[in-house]
């Protein structure tokens, strides 16, 4: 029932719509407050601001293989090198034999082919304009190609076993477990054929990246730096797994891989200068034949390259394994205990 002709006028006695001319409506008394004289009583305090760096470490700071930042990764890697350098060096020295089998014949073959090619151009008379005779150069290349290919296959296989064994040894050293060089080599041998298979599958991807340009080559190379660790510790599609781990945290992955590349480059350039000086000391650009001096230069240069690889494997391999564990912990629940269970 409306009041007069105004449909919106309050009804008499309606507490929700009091009469404008009447007394103010009565409301129930407020609830008693345990904190008197507070404008906005709060039974609980406001949450404090998070401390600098967040509420705490993302991972267990006591985990010897997993770290939340670059500094922790570097410190853990150098700790493995300091505590296990004897074992790591022993493995690298074992790998030096097949590596020398790979490097020395390749160096000799390359030097002999270079001298033959230079002689072909040196025998050309500019006044006649005759083209150089590449027959001796082709004969030199073809003559050593089979030997170099065989040495590369045998040396590469044996060196791959050492790399796999080194990756496993890193985990044992980091966790304080006893390390047996023989046991690690046997375990590495078991994972050799998966490594060969996955490496062959990565080759077409690398070739496509090479055709595309420089940046794709760097990208694919960075992704497949994780291949060795994935093959050792997982039984999965290693190619797709490398891409998954790398893209889990691009910043962390790029920072760690770039650091390992920088170390490898510094070691290679430093010893490369030594190899160049050795070459100039024993040979001359005008050498017409491959003599004893050239052979000595090839052998010493191959030895220097082997030393560079030993130094790189000693320092870089632990960092690569720890980069893998860091990225895996960012992608999924993961601890060192789980890694030990799969590596056993």
Q: Are 41 and 304 in contact (CB under 8 A)?
A: no
Q: Are 132 and 121 in contact (CB under 8 A)?
A: yes
Say what the pLDDT of residue 58 is.
Answer: 58
Neighbours of 314 (CB within 10 A): 19
Give the lowest-confidence range in 9-13, 47-51, 299-303. 47-51
Between residues 221 and 278, the one the model is more confident about: 221
Say what the pLDDT of residue 124 is.
Answer: 62
Q: In the predicted model, what is the mean pLDDT of residues 297-318?
A: 88
Say what the pLDDT of residue 93 is.
Answer: 93
pLDDT band at 341 (very low <50, low <70, confident <90, very high): confident
Say what the pLDDT of residue 55 is.
Answer: 35
Say what the pLDDT of residue 122 is.
Answer: 62
Give the lowest-confidence range in 30-44, 62-76, 233-247, 317-331. 30-44
Mean per-residue pLDDT of the chain: 80
Question: Is residue 334 classed as helix, strand or coil in its secondary structure?
Answer: coil
DSSP per-residue letters across 238-253: HHHHHHHHHHH-HHHH
Say what the pLDDT of residue 62 is.
Answer: 84
Q: Give the pLDDT confidence of 6-42 residue by residue, as tens digits.
A: 555 555 555 555 555 555 555 555 445 444 444 444 4
Coarse DSSP helix, strand, coil percentages of the chain, rounded to the nearest 5 percent: 70, 0, 30
pLDDT band at 94 (very low <50, low <70, confident <90, very high): very high
Between residues 327 and 304, the one the model is more confident about: 327
Say what the pLDDT of residue 7 is.
Answer: 55
pLDDT band at 163 (very low <50, low <70, confident <90, very high): very high
Give the lowest-confidence range in 141-145, 185-189, 219-223, 305-309. 141-145
Q: What's the Cα-to-Cα distance from 83 to each of 2, 170, 176, 256, 280, rounded to whole Å? A: 93, 10, 9, 21, 39
Q: In the predicted model, what is the mean pLDDT of residues 173-194?
A: 93
Distance separating alpha carbons of residues 252 and 204, to the nearest angstrom: 27
Q: In the predicted model, what is the mean pLDDT of residues 206-233?
A: 90
Buried b (16+ CB within 10 A) or exposed e, 88-108: bebbbebbbebbbbbbbbbbb
Q: Residue 271: CB partners within 8 Å, gap ≥ 6? A: 304, 305, 307, 308, 311
Say what the pLDDT of residue 216 is.
Answer: 86
Distance separating alpha carbons of residues 162 and 167, to the nearest angstrom: 9
Distance separating alpha carbons of residues 59 and 231, to the nearest angstrom: 24
């Amino acid at each position: 029932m409306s009041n007069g002709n105004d449909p919106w006028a309050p009804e008499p006695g309606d507490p929700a719509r009091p009469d404008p001319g009447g007394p103010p409506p009565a409301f129930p008394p407020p609830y008693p407050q345990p904190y008197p004289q507070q404008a906005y009583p709060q039974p609980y305090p406001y949450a404090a601001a998070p401390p600098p760096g967040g509420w705490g470490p993302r991972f267990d700071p006591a985990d010897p293989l997993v770290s939340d930042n670059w500094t922790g990764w570097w410190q853990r890697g150098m700790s493995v090198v300091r505590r296990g350098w004897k074992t790591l060096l022993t493995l690298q020295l074992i790998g030096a034999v097949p590596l020398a089998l790979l490097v020395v014949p390749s160096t000799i073959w390359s030097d002999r082919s270079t001298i033959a090619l230079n002689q072909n151009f040196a025998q050309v008379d500019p006044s006649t304009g005759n083209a150089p005779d590449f027959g001796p150069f082709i004969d030199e290349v073809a003559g050593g190609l089979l030997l170099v290919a065989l040495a590369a296959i045998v040396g590469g296989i044996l060196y791959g076993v050492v790399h796999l064994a080194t990756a496993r040894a890193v985990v044992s050293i980091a966790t304080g477990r006893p390390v047996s060089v023989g046991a690690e080599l046997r375990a590495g041998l078991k994972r050799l054929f998966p490594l060969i298979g996955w490496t062959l599958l990565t080759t077409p991807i690398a070739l496509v990246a090479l055709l595309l340009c420089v940046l794709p080559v760097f990208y694919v190379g960075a992704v497949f730096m994780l291949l060795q660790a994935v093959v050792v510790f997982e039984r999965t599609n290693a190619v797709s797994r490398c891409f998954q781990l790398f893209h889990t945290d691009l910043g962390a992955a790029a920072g760690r891989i770039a650091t390992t590349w920088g170390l490898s480059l510094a070691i290679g350039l430093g010893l490369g200068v030594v190899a160049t000086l050795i070459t100039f000391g024993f040979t001359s650009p005008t050498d017409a034949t491959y003599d004893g001096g050239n052979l000595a230069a090839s052998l010493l240069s191959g030895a220097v390259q082997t030393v560079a690889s030993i130094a790189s494997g000693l320092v870089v391999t632990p960092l690569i394994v720890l980069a893998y564990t860091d990225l895996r912990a960012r992608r999924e629940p993961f601890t060192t205990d789980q890694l030990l269970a799969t590596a056993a």
